[in-house]
Structure 1
Amino acid sequence: MILSLCTLGLFALVAFIFNSEVTKDPLALSPVVGKRISTPTGTLISCDLKALKDTVDIPLSYLTEELQIVKLDNRDEALIGGWVRTTVSDNYILVSNKKQTPYKLFTRDGKFVTTIGAYGEGPNEYANTYAEQLDEAHDRIYILPWQSNKLLVFDLKGNPQPSIPLCLRVPKGQFKVDTKKSEVTVTTLPFQGTPAVVWTQDFEGKRKNFIPALHLMVP
């Protein structure tokens, strides 16, 4: 009898601990809204938007094992323009532009290095931008302005380099430069008349491969 009571008590304790851990896990009680489906060309993830009833707070520890807070240089020339995009490499932090505040380059410990480009419509200038790439290994920073037919290129000292012409004008897009191969992969939001949604090209603007927009075209 005593053994049975002890066993039941142990099971109850384990169940209590398990349930306590579950209630602490914000994902454990959340509805499953996505599933993998097979298609002739591969596997896709399908989401049921109707199952999304509320937001879920996900602890930062779910996404990373280490957190580093860097205080950026606060000299006037180093100030950034509010909420912006950041790109981090081994030794640098690149902060994107915000309205009339241009790109800023910092060291990993927050020391201001230089301004990259300038706000405007002249050579090596930009207004709105959509994407950037920090290629520390090849001493290059690439910037894609809004409604652009080229990538702006700078070295890590802020000196302008020859731009890369794009084979198609990109209203809104993303890109990836392989500096070693002199190759660019570009994806764009395909508005009416845009022949491709993704393509690869060389640094001279010559297209290599592409995926036509077709049904992905925005009306």
Structure 2
Amino acid sequence: MIGLITGKILAKQPPEVLIEAGGIGYEVNMPMTSIYQLPEIGEITTVFTHFVVREDAQLLFGFADKQERIVFRELIKANGVGPKLALTILSGMSAAQLVQCVGFEDVTTLVKLPGVGKKTAERLVVELKDRLAKLNLTAADDAVLIPGTPSLDIGNTIVPVNDVREEALSALVALGYKPAQASKVIQSVYKDDLTSEQLIREALRSMV
């Protein structure tokens, strides 16, 4: 199993990041909360990974820290939750926020995430409450991962307006949001000085 990759970031196309390590380019699917923390394209980064083998594909998922990977692994153990839905959940909220949400049995917040209906949200609470509580994520972890943290430095070059909107729309659709819903939210939060990652972050914040 591939548990960790250290290498150069070649491209970012959220939720996928291309990382070169040892002459091999790894396509890594990452939650937005982790992508926000990556350095600029061309710089070296380290991500913790989880390798998924299916009959029709081999997928590599990456995370900014071990805690987020642990939460991802707990999520995919839940009945009816696959890697894609787990990735979507951790893009809409940080690992620590999810632990808090499940701990408080906050079904209302969970159902705002795409692919999470009331029954799925209730099942997450029942199956994960005790397991996630044992992780004991601290407030410091949450401060690092919360989307929209003012001190967060994305570090990407601002690209033309159309590209920014299209990249944000593509990312949200890949995460499971309906195109019409994603487009409407992007339009409502868009500002001229936002990068695509910042626009995705603001859109996700407004929907959860």
Q: Give the structure with the larger strand fraction.
A: 1
Mark the structure with the bigger radius of gyration: 1
Question: Which TM-score applies when normalising by structure 2?
Answer: 0.28
Question: Which TM-score applies when normalising by structure 1?
Answer: 0.27
